[in-house]
């Protein structure tokens, strides 16, 4: 974490992955990260930072666990429990205020119409006591036969009108509580039936919509398949028509004897000239008269070989004539006087004559080895 200023480390701590000598004598080491948690620190180090080396997306440490506590005698403080105890003690020390149970009374005698207002107040209290004496839920629990009663549709409207008129006129009495409970029960049942009916209609509408979509998809698929089958049928009909026309044309040509003979000669010509380098114009001009293609090829190869060998022999004879030529010059008187042996070079490697002296250095290592070998 970055500090606020120079030499400022208040309520902040650092987590380093390497040596930080510049933090010596400025910060205190109070812990070390161990175990697999080091991978979390490596992941935090990969976070993106801005130009001030602050993280763009700050990392938050939610929980920490002490794996190895070297100070067993130190007990950590629980500030929450201490605060709760202090608050409880302060509440206990405060004196409790007694609530007055006296009810507030309206002083109606001050008003000019105080007597009439007092009578109305007494009448309202009596009516409230009568209504609170017995609720509709208690009546429903006591009389279970009300739940099983079935009401006709035409009676519902009459009951509704009756209770609405009574509520407007203020004629609801304690005797009508049972009827009120049954009316409320009927209303709740009608509401539940209406909700169920609406849910059912919604589900049916969804199902119908899905069926309609499925049917539309199926109809589209059927239309596409129908169009595809029609195209295939048209293509098959076209192929059959082309084949029929071709067969009719071939049949008509086969019926013609002259064309049949021409076609047979053409096929024979193709077989004979298959792979030949000569064109039709060469055959028509008379340059090519041979009938057997293989024989013609072999004859041409032999002729080429014979011409090649003949040219080589003539060239060799011409090139070797100078070897047979002898140099002849005119003899002179000087040649007659000279001896041929005198003209020959003396061979220094010939055997040593016994009458000749061996001129060699006996101290020479080579001569010494020769003497030892002898």
Within a domain: residue 346? no
Percent of the chain with pLDDT over 70: 52
Q: Are 117 and 111 in contact (CB under 8 A)?
A: yes
- What stretches of the chain show up as alpha helix (H) in DSSP? 38-45, 79-93, 114-133, 136-142, 145-148, 153-169, 177-255, 257-272, 280-285, 293-324, 333-337, 340-343, 365-373
- Rounded average pLDDT over 166-186: 62
The backbone torsions φ and ψ at residue 17, rounded to the nearest 5 degrees and listed phi first, read: -100, -5
Q: In the predicted model, is pLDDT for residue 279 greater than 50?
A: yes
Give the tens place of pLDDT for each residue, 39-78: 888 888 888 888 888 888 888 888 888 878 777 787 777 7
Q: In this predicted structure, what is the pLDDT of residue 134?
A: 53
Q: Please check whether residues 190 and 259 belong to one and the same domain.
A: no
Least confident of 5-19, 90-104, 204-218: 90-104
Among 13-22, 131-140, 289-298, which stretch is predicted with the lowest mean pLDDT? 131-140
User: 361: pLDDT confidence band, cut at 50, 70 and 90?
Assistant: confident
Could you tell me if 60 and 12 lie in one domain?
yes
140 within 8 A of 180, measured Cβ to Cβ: no
pLDDT given at position 72: 79
Please state, rounded to an integer, the average pLDDT across all residues of the chain: 70
Q: What is the CATH number of the domain that holds 3?
A: 2.40.100.10
Give the C-alpha distances (Å, rounded to integers) separating 177 from 61, 145, 162, 189.
64, 15, 14, 18
Q: Is residue 339 domain-resident? A: no
* Across 344-358, average pLDDT: 58
Residue 102 has pLDDT above 50, yes or no: yes
Residue 299 has a pLDDT of 83
Q: Please state, in angstroms and rounded to a whole number, the distance separating the CA atoms of residues 62 and 133.
A: 58
Question: How far apart are the C-alpha atoms of 41 and 36, rounded to whole Å?
Answer: 10
Q: Which of 99, 125, 121, 97 is nearest to 109 (CA)?
A: 121
Tell whether the model's pLDDT for residue 186 goes beyond 60: yes
Q: Give me the pLDDT at residue 362, please.
A: 81
Answer whether 139's CB lies under 8 Å from 181's CB: yes
Q: Evaluate whether residue 100 is within a structural domain.
A: no
Mean pLDDT value across residues 206-210:
86
Residue 29, in any domain of the structure: yes
Q: Model's pTM, two decimal places?
A: 0.21
Is the pLDDT at 112 greater than 60? The verdict is no
How many domains, the chain?
3
Does pLDDT of 349 surpass 80? no
- Please check whether residues 209 and 243 belong to one and the same domain: no
Under DSSP, the state recorded for 350 is S
259 within some domain: yes
Positive or negative, the CA dihedral 303, 305, 309, 315 is positive
Q: Which of these three, 191, 219, 247, is where a domain ends?
A: 219
Q: Would you say residue 249 has pLDDT above 70?
A: yes
229 lies in the same domain as 173: no
Per-residue pLDDT, 62? 84
- Mean pLDDT value of segment 97-103: 56
Handedness of CA 364, 365, 368, 373 (dihedral sign): negative
Q: Is position 60 within any domain? A: yes
Asked whether residue 228 falls in the same domain as residue 213, the answer is: no
335 vs 79, residue with greater confidence: 79
Please check whether residues 248 and 195 belong to one and the same domain. Answer: no
Q: How far is CA 29 from the centre of its chain?
A: 46
Query: Is 357 inside a domain boundary?
Result: no
Higher pLDDT: 352 or 244? It is 244
Q: With a cut of 80, say whether residue 38 has pLDDT above it.
A: yes
Each residue's pLDDT tens digit, 73-84: 877 777 778 788
Cα–Cα dist 211/209, whole Å: 5
Q: Of 49-63, 192-206, 341-355, which gets the smallest average pLDDT?
A: 341-355
Q: How far apart are CA 125 and CA 105, in angstroms?
A: 13
Which residues, in sequence order, are CB contacts of 260 under 8 Å at separation 6+?
A: 253, 254
pLDDT for the residue 18: 79
Give per-residue pLDDT as tens, 124-168. Answer: 776 666 555 555 555 544 444 444 444 444 444 555 555 555 544
The angle that helices 257-272 and 177-255 make with each other, rounded to 10 degrees, is 90
Residue 90: Cβ within 10 Å count = 9
Residue 200 lies in a domain: yes
Structure confidence at residue 174 (pLDDT): 46
Q: Which domain holds residue 259?
A: 223-269
- Select, from the ranges 8-17, 114-123, 302-311, 315-324, the one with the highest average predicted confidence (pLDDT): 302-311
């Amino acid at each position: 974490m970055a500090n606020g200023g120079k030499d400022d480390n208040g309520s902040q701590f650092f987590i380093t992955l390497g040596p930080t000598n510049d933090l010596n004598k400025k910060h205190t080491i109070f812990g070390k990260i161990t175990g697999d948690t080091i991978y979390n620190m490596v992941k935090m180090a990969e976070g993106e930072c801005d130009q001030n080396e602050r993280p763009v997306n700050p990392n938050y440490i939610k929980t920490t666990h002490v794996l190895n506590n070297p100070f067993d005698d130190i007990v950590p403080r629980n500030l929450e429990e201490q605060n709760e105890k202090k608050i409880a003690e302060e509440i206990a020390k405060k004196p409790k205020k007694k609530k007055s149970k006296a009810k507030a009374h309206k002083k109606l005698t001050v008003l000019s119409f105080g007597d009439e207002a007092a009578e109305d107040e007494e009448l309202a209290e009596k009516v409230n006591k009568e209504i609170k004496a017995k609720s509709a839920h208690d009546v429903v629990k006591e009389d279970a036969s009300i739940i099983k009663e079935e009401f006709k549709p035409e009676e519902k409207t009459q009951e509704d009108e009756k209770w609405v008129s009574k509520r407007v006129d203020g004629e609801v009495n304690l005797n009508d509580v049972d009827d009120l409970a049954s009316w409320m029960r009927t209303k709740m049942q009608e509401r539940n039936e209406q909700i169920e009916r609406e849910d059912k209609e919604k589900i049916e509408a969804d199902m119908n919509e899905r069926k309609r979509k499925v049917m539309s998809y199926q109809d589209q698929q059927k239309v596409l398949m129908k169009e595809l089958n029609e195209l295939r049928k048209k293509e098959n009909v076209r192929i059959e028509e082309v084949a029929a026309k071709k067969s009719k044309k071939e049949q008509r040509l086969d019926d013609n004897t002259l064309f049949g003979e021409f076609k047979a000669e053409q096929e024979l010509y193709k077989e004979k000239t298959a792979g030949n380098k000569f064109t039709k114009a060469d055959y028509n001009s008379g340059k090519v008269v041979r009938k057997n293609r293989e024989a013609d090829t072999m004859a041409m190869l032999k002729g080429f070989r014979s011409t090649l060998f003949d040219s080589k022999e003539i060239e060799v004879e011409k090139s070797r004539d100078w070897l047979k030529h002898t140099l002849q010059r005119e003899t002179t008187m000087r040649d007659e006087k000279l001896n041929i042996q005198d003209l020959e070079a003396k061979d220094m490697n010939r055997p040593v004559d016994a009458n000749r002296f061996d001129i060699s250095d006996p101290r020479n290592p080579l001569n010494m080895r020769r003497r030892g070998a002898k």
